Amino acid sequence: MKLETMTIMEIRTYVNQLEEVPPQLIEKLLADSRRGVAAIGRQLAARAAREERERARWLAMTAYERRFRAEGKQWVYGIDEVGRGPLAGPVVACAVALPEQFSLPGLDDSKKVPPALREAYYDVIMRDALRVGIGIVSAERIDEINILEATREAMKLAVADAGGEPDICLIDAVHIPDFSYEQFPIVGGDGKSVSIAAASIVAKVTRDRLMAEYAKLYPEYGFDKHAGYATAEHLRALAQYGPCPIHRRTFGGVKELLHA
C-alpha cells in the first residue's frame, strides 16, 4: 500500500476497515506531509493509547481473580452492596461469579459508570455470568439491626441466592462475621476487581429499579430521581410530607421529624 497515491478519503476508508492498525502504519500517517492524513494518524494514535490503557487497567482489575484461580479456587464470587447511605429504601447486595475469559471493557465501580451504560453492562453481566445472586434488606430491618449488620445480612442473602458454594468471596471493604465461606475484603474493591465491579453494577441497577417502583407508590418524594439519597429535593419533600413507610427511621434527617 502506497499512501502517497491514495486520497485522504481512501486512507480513512482503508484504516476504518482494519480490525487493528499496525503501529508502523500509524507512524507513516503521522509523517505524511498532508495535514488531513497526519490528523488521521493522530486520531489512530490516541485510540491505540486509550486501548492500551484499558488493557492495562483490565489486567489489574483481574489480578485477584487470576491469583485465586491459580491457587485452585474455581468459584470466585465478587460481592458488593448499594444503598448504605440513603434515607429511604432497602440496602441491596449482589454476588457474582464470572467466567475466566469474561471481558467487558469499561467495567468499573457503578458510581463511575453513566446510568445508560450501567443498564447495558447489567444486561451483559446477567447474560454471561456463571452465577448471580441478589440480597435485599428492607428499611424496617435496617432500623432494627443497623446499616452495617443489614449490609452483611444482604451479602449473605446474595450468596445464598446465587446458588452453589463459592471457593472464595471477594468483598468490597466489608468483613462478614459467622460466614460459612472464605472471604477476602478489598478496600475500594469495586475499582480493583472485575467480580466486585460486576456485583456493584447489578446491585445498583437492581436497587434503582426498585426505587423507581417505590416512586409510583409514593410519588411525592421523587425516589426515581434520587433513589432515596438526601438530596435537597428529597429533604424538602420530607419536611413537607413527613416520612413514608420505606424511610429509615433511625437515620438523621428522618428521625428528627418523628419527634418534632
Question: Residue 241 — very low, low, confident or very high, per pLDDT cuts 50/70/90?
Answer: very high
- Whether residue 118 is found in the same domain as residue 245: no
Q: What is the DSSP letter of 170?
A: E
Q: What is the pLDDT of residue 11?
A: 85
- Whether residue 119 is found in the same domain as residue 11: no
What is the C-alpha separation between 163 and 166, in angstroms, rounded? 9
Q: Is the pLDDT of residue 231 over 90?
A: yes
DSSP string, 202-235: HHHHHHHHHHHHHHHHSGGG-HHHHTT---HHHH
Provide the edge-to-edge strand list for the sheet that holds 91-97: 131-137, 91-97, 76-82, 168-172, 183-186
Q: Is the pLDDT of residue 1 over 70?
A: no
- Whether residue 75 is found in the same domain as residue 199: yes
Question: What digits encode the pLDDT tens for the residues 146-194?
Answer: 999 999 999 999 999 999 999 999 999 999 999 999 999 999 999 999 9
- Whether residue 123 is found in the same domain as residue 164: yes
Q: What is the pLDDT of residue 156?
A: 97
Q: Domain range holding 169? A: 63-212
- Whether residue 45 is found in the same domain as residue 67: no
- Whether residue 197 is found in the same domain as residue 225: no
Q: Is the pLDDT of residue 94 over 90?
A: yes
- Whether residue 204 is found in the same domain as residue 220: no
Question: What digits encode the pLDDT tens for the residues 21-34?
Answer: 888 888 888 988 88
- Whether residue 199 is found in the same domain as residue 76: yes
Q: Which residue has the cell 468483613?
A: 175
Q: Is the pLDDT of residue 96 over 80?
A: yes
Residues in the chain: 260
Is the C-alpha dihedral spanning 100, 104, 109, 115 positive or negative?
negative
Q: Is the pLDDT of residue 45 over 60?
A: yes
Q: Which of 36, 59, 82 is the last residue of a domain?
A: 59
- Whether residue 94 is found in the same domain as residue 182: yes
Residue of higher predicted confidence among 48 and 81: 81
Q: Is the pLDDT of residue 40 over 80?
A: yes
Question: What digits encode the pLDDT tens for the residues 212-221?
Answer: 999 999 999 9
Cell numbers at 217, concatenated = 407508590
- pLDDT above 70 covers what percent of the chain? 99
- Whether residue 101 is found in the same domain as residue 183: yes
- Whether residue 73 is found in the same domain as residue 175: yes
Q: Which of 212, 229, 250 is the last residue of a domain?
A: 212
Q: What is the pLDDT of residue 147?
A: 97
Q: What is the pLDDT of residue 220?
A: 97
Give the domain CATH number at 123.
Answer: 3.30.420.10
- Whether residue 84 is found in the same domain as residue 206: yes
Q: What is the pLDDT of residue 251?
A: 96
What is the C-alpha separation between 231 and 176, in angstroms, rounded? 30
Query: Other C-beta atoms within 10 Å of 48: how many?
Result: 15
Residue 91: partners with Cβ closer than 8 Å, 6 or more residues away: 81, 82, 83, 84, 136, 137, 142, 147, 150, 151, 154
Number of separate domains in the chain = 3
Cell numbers at 50, concatenated = 486509550
CA distances 17 to 10, 11, 20, 195, Å, are 11, 10, 9, 34
What 3-state class would DSSP assign to 120?
A: helix
Q: Catalogue the E-assigned strands of the chain.
A: 76-82, 91-97, 131-137, 168-172, 183-186
Q: Which of 41, 59, 77 is the last residue of a domain?
A: 59
Mean pLDDT of 114-126: 95
Phi-psi region of 170 (alpha: psi -120 to 50; beta: other; left: phi over 0): beta
